[in-house]
Structure 1
Amino acid sequence: MSTTKKIGILGGTFDPPHIGHLRLATHFAKALHLDALLLVPSGEPWQKGIDITPAETRLQLTEAAGIDLARAFLYLKIATQVGIDRMEIDRTGPSYAIDTVKALRERFGVEASLTWLMGADSLVALPSWNSWEKLSQYVNFAVASRPHHNLTMEVSSELGQFLQKHQTSDVAALEITPSGLIYIDESLNIDLSSTELRDRLKSSSRSTIATEQIPTHTLEIITNLGLYQ
């Protein structure tokens, strides 16, 4: 058994967190035998415009989702600890992933395997991230495919070159490698987005939103606070 510390990182606006986030987290927690999985809500999501729920409220929603995720891990006998990290909320200025991965590398040390979890849509958009090519110096990437996202068709030439250099078909390699690898998992298709859920919560179909789409504790807070109306 590897003694390397294995940490998964799931960042995002989480406006709101949804079952897609939890499915992705659960899938990779099991596949990568993660010791811990950190949910990192962004403080100032600079690519998302101005119509964003306040950071402290999104943190509260993420903490609630973390409760359901931890219970799912317990039920599925996945020995991964769930943590909610507010570093991006506490950091002033725009939330850049590069700052987050540098801080996490410093926290966990040079030998730990750090893996950033994302969907295929985020991978396609990676070249728009701040200092994106430097991210692989600090973390691996585990990418879940998404319906309607044909990576072959959507990957830019610069991202294609990046993938040629870093992509691996061996998921186990991420467990023993601190950073620099990209694994694309074709077995998991997640077709939920926070944008679509917000639109539904603001529409007449709000009452049809169920725990199949939003975690139970998160939905309870959304209802109690009257969010997304």
Structure 2
Amino acid sequence: MSARKKIGILGGTFDPPHVGHLKLASHFAKLLNLDTLLLIPSGEPWQKGAGITPAELRLQLTEAAGIDLARAFLYLQISTQVGIDRIEIDRAGPSYAIDTAKALRERFGSETSLIWLMGADSLVNLPTWHAWQDLMKYVNFAVASRPNYGLAAETSPFLKELLEKHRAAGCHDLENSASGLIYVDESMSVDLSSTELRNRLQSPARSSVASEQIPSHTLEIITNLGLYQ
């Protein structure tokens, strides 16, 4: 057993957080035996354009989703602690992953394995991230397959070179490395699109959006506050 502390990081706009996020979090929390999993809503999601729900509201929705996630961990007998971190909301300016990675590395120390959780589409789009080349100095990546984003079929020279250099042989490698590895998990396929859910909430089909798509506590706040109408 590795004594190295393992911190999972699941960032995103969370507009709104949904069951796909919780499935991804639960899968990797159990697989990687994470000590803590941090949900980090972005403050100013610079790649998302206009029309984003205010940050404090998205934080409130994420906190509600965290309640459901913690209950799921309890039910699944996953010992990972859930934390909601406002580091990007409190930091002025655009929310860059590299700034968050540096701050978390300083917070948790050089020996902790920081594991950034993402869907395969995020890995494919990594070159669009600000200062993405430096991210691997601070974190590991745990990547879940996602519908229509099969990494095996992805032929970009960038991704091929990145995986050849950094791909972990197995998930346990992340226990022995503080940063610099990419673990690709093909055992699950999860859709992480909040856009479709927002569109449904803004349509006559709003009433059909249930807790199968959005965590129950989050859905309660959306309903009570009349969000996404």
Do both proteins adopt the same fold according to a TM-score greater than 0.5, normalized to the shorter chain? yes
Residues 60 and 189 of structure 1, relative CA distance in 2, 3 Å threshold: same
Query: Counterpart in 2 of 1:167?
Result: 167
The aligned counterpart of 2:198 is 198
Aligned-residue CA RMSD (Å):
0.9
CA distance in 2, matches of 1:22, 1:4: 24
> Distance between the aligned counterparts of 1:227 and 1:60, measured in 2?
12
Unpaired segments ≥5 residues, structure 2:
none
Could you list the per-position Cα deviations for residues 199-225 of structure 1 after superposition, in whole angstroms to 9, with x for gaps in the alignment? 000011110001010000000000001
In the TM superposition, residue 70 of structure 1 has moved relative to its aligned partner by: 0.3
Taking structure 1 as the reference length, the TM-score comes to: 0.98
- SS of the residue corresponding to residue 79 of structure 1 reads coil
Separation (CA, whole Å) in 2 of partners of 1:194 and 1:169: 31
Per-residue CA shift, 1:160-205, capped at 9, x if unaligned? 2111100113110112210000011001111241000000000111
Q: 1:38-81 deviations in whole A, cap 9, x for unaligned?
A: 00000000000011000000000000000000000011110000
Partner-residue secondary structure (3-state), 2:188: coil
Does structure 1 retain, via aligned residues, the 8 Å contact 2:120–2:149?
yes
Please tell me the residue identity of whatever aligns with 1:47: Q
- What is the match of residue 127 of structure 1? 127
| 1:75 aligned residue | 75
Q: Which residue of 1 aligns with 2:84?
A: 84
Kept in 2, the 8 Å contact 1:33–1:175? The answer is no
Matches within 5 A, 1:39-188: 39-188=39-188
* Alpha-carbon distance in 2 for matches of 1:170, 1:77: 23
Match in the other structure for 1:2? 2
Number of residue pairs matched by the alignment:
229
Q: Secondary structure at the match of 1:168?
A: coil
Where structure 1 has 5 or more consecutive residues not aligned to the other structure, the ranges are none
**Given that residues 101 and 138 in structure 2 are in contact (C-alpha distance below 8 angstroms), is that contact kept between their aligned partners in structure 1?**
yes
One-letter amino acid of the structure 1 residue matched with residue 226 of structure 2: G
Partners of 1:113 and 1:174 within 8 A in 2: yes
Q: What TM-score do the two structures reach when normalised by structure 2?
A: 0.98
Larger displacement relative to structure 2 (184-193 or 30-39): 184-193
Larger mean Cα displacement after TM superposition, 158-167 or 106-115: 158-167
Name the CA distance, whole Å, in 1 between partners of 2:223 and 2:154. 37
- Partners of 2:15 and 2:172 in 1: CA distance: 32
